Amino acid sequence: MNNQTSKTKIGTKALVMGGSVAGLLAARVLSNYFEEVVIIEKDELPDSPTNRPGTPQAYHPHRVLLRGKMIVERLFPGYTEDLLAEGAYLREGKTIQLNYRYGSIIIPDERDVGCSRALFEWVIRNRVRVLPNVKIISGCEVSKLEMSVDDNGQKRITGVQLRERKAPGPEQPVTIQAELVVDASGRNSKLGKWLIQLGYEVPEPERLKVSLGYSTCHFNVPEHLKDKWSTILVEGHPAKGIGTGVFSPIENNLAEVLIFRAGGQSYPSVKSEDYVREAETLLDSTISELLKQMEPVASPRGFRVAECIRHRYDQMQNWPSGLLVIGDALCNFDPIYGQGMTVAAIEAEILDLCLQNHLNGNKVAFERNVLEKMQEAIEPAWWLSAASDLQWPGVEYSGGYSMEGFKFVQRFFDEYLTQAIGKQNIEMFETYMIMTSLLIAPKEILNVEKILSVLNEATTEEGLELRLEYSGEAGILRLKMFLEEHIPTFALTF
């Protein structure tokens, strides 16, 4: 065994900017490879599972997709039991009711829990706090990256400057040195700006101008409704401007109810007196009828997102050593698909694999390798959510993907779901759900054989049109070429 493989740590100190979900997952991974890991969080962290100013989205429902749960469970074994011990809602044995414009699917839930985003973060943070080599510095904001240039002109991030947020008098920035700095400061990350200030050329990010609005209201769940549903989803109809509604129980006998619309033509109301009426605009009355039986605990709160952004730092010609980025700071998604925390977990897993490789001596282009692999993890979630959001009039996409590919997949999934739900084909439906849970690649459904087998049974106008377009030998060849040209290859191996 040579020196490199016998090493157990890569370096002395790693620093993570931001102590939210992505930052905590990154710190957990880094703790295996660095003697010390420091998390810098601008908020004073609460000493109970409550919301804080740095994560204003936390008032709104947060679910972790299956893939994310599996990774979090690997990083923090038994964390679901921690959530249950803190009072999270046991979803096992309760009913999931999913109402679409194609019909309804009702399935029993599995071993899973419902909880607020604050409780989820609390449980993960408590697990990180007890790691002996991780330190959380709260109430301090990173304000600048520190960089050095060696004799060969190689640039390296060597640490950060931070300032105490409550410090009296003139700001006294403090510098912390670290061999690796990871930006996990969320969707308002200043990384692009800082890199430009350091002389880097930063490419335009991909943008999904989504103009979405959430309105979330918390309700007390009465005894007779307590053990019934783990989720009710009334999915919207974007072309008709009809929003999506979700009901999901969490801890303390509460349920979160969310109403969502995208495209910016109208936002869901946040007035208490309008909330039931707002729910009545959904495709069916399941949620509005339920609301009449529950007491709100506070007025609804809104959240608006003008655009979702996927930074393409992987496309930069130069990237400094010693710097990485993870979570919403790298790519943020339309939250209705519940992908953000799961993608952050996949990115943490990628970081883990790349650090393991580094420890084994493969150090060349470490940072670029991580950035490229993280883009592979982002791609399915980003592409699927963009395809879905583009059904809303008013949503616009700018980036490298083919609009024809998005249009095709909208038409095809419309046919797919009509069949899966219309025929109550649970296996077909579950395959779709497993794909949107990021457990299998979109290519598992979007391949020639699968597409043709679905189109053979076509019932919708769009499906019949697609069948006509791609029938016969010449049609199959056309489909093959279309997929190659317009649908991404999704390099990430699942």
Ligand X SMILES: Cc1cc2nc3c(=O)[nH]c(=O)nc-3n(C[C@H](O)[C@H](O)[C@H](O)COP(=O)(O)OP(=O)(O)OC[C@H]3O[C@@H](n4cnc5c(N)ncnc54)[C@H](O)[C@@H]3O)c2cc1C
125 binds ligand X (CB under 6 A): no
Shortest separation between residue 178's beta carbon and ligand X, angstroms: 14
What is 152-214 written as a DSSP string?
T--EEEEEEEEEETT--SS---EEEE-SEEEE---TT--HHHHHHHTT---PPPEEEEEEEEE
Q: Which is nearer to ligand X, 249 or 335 (CB)?
A: 335
Applying the rule CB under 6 A, the residues between 169 and 208 that interact with ligand X are 184-187
In the complex, the smallest distance separating the C-beta of residue 15 from ligand X, rounded to whole angstroms, is 10
Nearest CA to 242 among 207, 282, 296, 275?
Answer: 282
Report the distance separating Cα 435 and Cα 443, nearest Å: 9
Nearest residue (CB) to ligand X, 125 versus 467? 125
CB of 452 to ligand X, least distance (A): 34
Interface residue with ligand X, options 13, 34, 37, 61 (CB under 6 A): 61
241: region left, alpha or beta (phi > 0 left; psi from -120 to 50 alpha): left
State the minimum distance, in angstroms, from the CB of residue 392 to ligand X. Answer: 16
Give the C-alpha separation, 462 to 415, whole Å: 7
- Is residue 243 a contact residue for ligand X (CB under 6 A)? no
From the CB of 158, what's the least distance to ligand X, in Å?
A: 17
- Note whether 340 binds ligand X by CB under 6 A: yes
**Min dist. Cβ of residue 439 to ligand X (A):** 14
Under rule CB under 6 A, residue 210 binds ligand X: no
Backbone angles phi, psi at 403, to 5 degrees: -65, -30
* 134 residue type, one letter: V
- Helical axes 461-469 vs 403-422, angle rounded to 10°: 120
Nearest one of 262, 441, 255 to 337, comparing CA atoms: 262
Nearer to ligand X, 86 or 256 (CB): 256
Least spacing, CB of residue 267 vs ligand X, in Å? 13
Q: Is 249 in the site for ligand X (CB under 6 A)?
A: no
In sign, the C-alpha dihedral spanning 130, 132, 137, 141 is: negative
* Pair type for strands 95-100 and 103-108: antiparallel
Shortest distance, position 129 Cβ to ligand X, whole Å = 15
- By CB under 6 A, the residues from 253 to 292 that bind ligand X are none
To the nearest whole angstrom, how small is the minimum distance from the Cβ of residue 284 to ligand X?
22
Q: Which is nearer to ligand X, 118 or 409 (CB)?
A: 118
Interatomic CA distance for residues 324 and 349, integer angstroms: 14
Q: Are 359 and 10 in contact (CB under 8 A)?
A: yes
# binding residues, ligand X (CB under 6 A): 37
Whole-angstrom Cα distance, residue 143 to residue 159?
A: 11
Out of 179, 328, 352, 379, the only residue in the binding site for ligand X (CB under 6 A) is 328
Report the C-alpha gap between 205 and 232 in whole angstroms. Answer: 35
Question: Of residues 28, 34, 55, 233, which one binds ligand X by CB under 6 A?
Answer: 55
The contact mask relative to ligand X for 293-312 (x = CB under 6 A, - = no) is: ----------x---------
| Identity of the residue, 303 or 383, whose beta carbon is nearer to ligand X in the bound complex | 303
Contact 199, 182 (CB under 8 A): no
Comparison of 380 and 463: residue with beta carbon closer to ligand X: 380
- Which of 2, 90, 71, 382 is closest to 210 using CA atoms? 382
Cβ proximity to ligand X: between 68 and 488 the closer is 68
| Stretch 16-45 residues interacting with ligand X (CB under 6 A) | 17-23, 40-43
Binding site for ligand X (CB under 6 A): 17-23, 40-43, 54-55, 57, 60-64, 141-142, 184-187, 214, 303, 327-329, 335, 338-342, 344
